[in-house]
Structure 1
């Protein structure tokens, strides 16, 4: 009979061998225009820029990670405005990127 620590370490090693690279932040981000149009981004990849749907979007972060919002549509403005999980912003969101 094998010892429990030996079996657990084998299972842990197998899990690490099959684990992929860092993945997307699980959940959704909802961008909303002043006119009520919505864009839903599911499981945003860290570092990828997601443009908004026009000027002055609002954003709701329903992921498990932090996102950064930018006033421009290409995530290039040097204004770093974090939005934590569960937080909603209703002003001047032109684009966003997930941090984790």
Structure 2
């Protein structure tokens, strides 16, 4: 794989991670959903099970948008992304990377 292709793939993944964290922190279900593929996505949480993005958005909405008895948010969170660990797979056909 060419250095330039891997570099661009890593940049795209880092940008996606930052969009995801901003959507979570903003408690924005639409921006959260936009971080996943439109169809066919599977979220694998290991021993907790697997689900699809739309189901996860529903869970996210229930938790992130919940309000406390004083009317404020029940959950306050802030995501930080430092020192990314990203392994870009070299495609067998020599084309642009499609998995990381």
TM-score (structure 1 length as normaliser): 0.23
Larger radius of gyration: 1
Which structure carries more helix by proportion?
2
Which structure carries more strand by proportion?
1
